[in-house]
Structure 1
Amino acid sequence: MAFHEIRFPANLSFGAAGGPERRTEIVTLANGFEERNTPWEHSLRRYDAGLGLRGLEDLEAVIAFFEARRGQLHGFRWKDWADWRSVGSSRALTHFDQRLGVGDGVITQFQLQKTYVSGTESYVRPVLKPVAGTVLAAVGGDPKVEGAEFTVDSGTGVVTFAVAPDIGAEISAGFEFDVPVRFDTDRIHVSMASFQAGEIPAIPVIEVRL
């Protein structure tokens, strides 16, 4: 499967439904207690693109996008309006939103990531599809200039510094990002009469591992 570095129309994903999914294996023991485990380190997101359609022009745009991706064959970018920034939607991006690591004087590349915290627990999610031109990075509290002091691979989310950060220097970043997905169907079924009357086709989309 190839991945096309193109975003599903953001105005159409705005009304879509979906979010993260986990897989938990649960075994109930003879004494009634449970053992729970998960084979997934990271969650997998699912969406329904059909819920964002508001008219025939939207439908035409989605069909064109679907055909260009050859159905399920090629992946693409998806803007998850519920989770698309390194900070909450009410705050401005800063160079210090997310901690990427600590310098050792040798390593120059750091993976973008977002940490979700609740109480004493946290989950670190790798960010593989940052939006070009939105990444802000800092080393040891000192903001750096993209293009001169660091570069970003928008296809992998890897930040590369021109000079290796000093030992103990904290690397941080702020950014916008997309989710790598594909269509989860090879068929879009639409009845024009029912669509005009308000019936919306189901167009499932699923996150892909890269």
Structure 2
Amino acid sequence: MAFHEVRLPARLAFGSTGGVERRTEITTLGSGFERRSTPWTEGRRRYLIGAGLRSLDDMAALTAFFEARRGRLYGFRFRDFADFKSCAPGEAVAATDRRIGTGDGARRMFRLGKTYGDHVRRIAKPVEGSARVAVNGVETTAFALDHLTGEVTLATPPISGAVVTAGFVFDTPVRFDADRIEVTLESFGAGPMVAMPLIEVRV
């Protein structure tokens, strides 16, 4: 997949709006009851950025970022400030934040994930150097993190039944969802920008 391992500068995302969307297919039966299903196992995030920008310098920076991604062609990293940690946004990451697997005496690789109730969201774009890992509640540094895929590889396989947990900071993989960017000049140094849509991509 065409993806650039670069994060949108945080200042260009100030004033952004967005959230999770789901796709639910609903069939109303003749009896009035409904049959509901979804083809998606994962939710998909959408955002609008740029509407809060007024400085022409920031608009030029966003335009340059847009051009470097060739519009919708290349994906990139985006920091969703409402959901970017294994813990709550205002808390500190801990090695016991999220359960990512159970040892069997042979397995060494585990995938990062964040739980929402009984749903687990796979985390594919962790921030390099942010992960903390524990086995049965004891933190360890004997692991490697692939920050391109979210795979954690322990140096030694955990014993059978051992609980593997992790804490981490992560980005959301997105792309621009428009091939056009618009800026209005109001003065020599400022002007409004039409909000740019972003959409999460599967990686």
- Fold similarity call, TM over 0.5: yes
Question: Is 1:28 paired with 2:24?
Answer: no
Question: Is 1:62 paired with 2:62?
Answer: yes
Of residues 122, 125, 142, the one that matches 1:126 is: 122
- Using a 3 Å threshold, how does the CA distance of structure 1 residues 161 and 188 change in structure 2: closer, same or farther? same
Distance 1:171 1:81 in 2: 26
Query: Aligned ranges for residues 138-149 of structure 1 at < 5 Å?
Result: 138-145=134-141, 149=142
Distance 2:152 2:26 in 1: 38
User: What's the TM-score, normalizing by structure 2?
Assistant: 0.95
Q: In the alignment, what sits opposite 1:13?
A: 13
> Which letter maps to 1:159?
V
Q: In the alignment, what sits opposite 2:40?
A: 40
Of residues 178, 183, 203, the one that matches 2:171 is: 178
Distance apart, 1:43 and its partner CA: 0.4
Structure 2 contact 7–78 (Cα < 8 Å) conserved: yes
Structure 1 contact 99–172 (Cα < 8 Å) conserved: yes
Q: How many residues align?
A: 203
Distance 2:38 2:162 in 1: 34
- Using a 3 Å threshold, how does the CA distance of structure 1 residues 59 and 169 change in structure 2: closer, same or farther? same
Structure 2 contact 133–166 (Cα < 8 Å) conserved: yes
Percent identity at matched positions?
54
Distance apart, 1:57 and its partner CA: 1.4
SS of residue paired to 1:129 = coil
Distance 1:14 1:131 in 2: 20
**What's the RMSD between the two structures over aligned residues?**
1.6
What are the ranges of 5 or more consecutive residues in structure 1 without an aligned counterpart?
none
Of residues 186, 203, 206, the one that matches 2:196 is: 203
Q: In the alignment, what sits opposite 1:152?
A: 145
Distance apart, 1:111 and its partner CA: 0.3
- Using a 3 Å threshold, how does the CA distance of structure 1 residues 53 and 161 change in structure 2: closer, same or farther? same
CA-to-partner distance for each residue in 1:71-95, whole Å, 9 max, x for gaps?
A: 1111100000110000112221110
Structure 2 contact 46–197 (Cα < 8 Å) conserved: yes
User: What's the TM-score, normalizing by structure 1?
Assistant: 0.92
After TM superposition, which residue ranges in structure 1, 4 or more long, deviate above 6 angstroms? 194-197
Distance 1:52 1:109 in 2: 42
Distance 2:190 2:155 in 1: 57
Distance apart, 1:13 and its partner CA: 1.7
| Structure with greater helix percent | 1
Distance apart, 1:53 and its partner CA: 1.9
Structure 2 contact 104–159 (Cα < 8 Å) conserved: yes
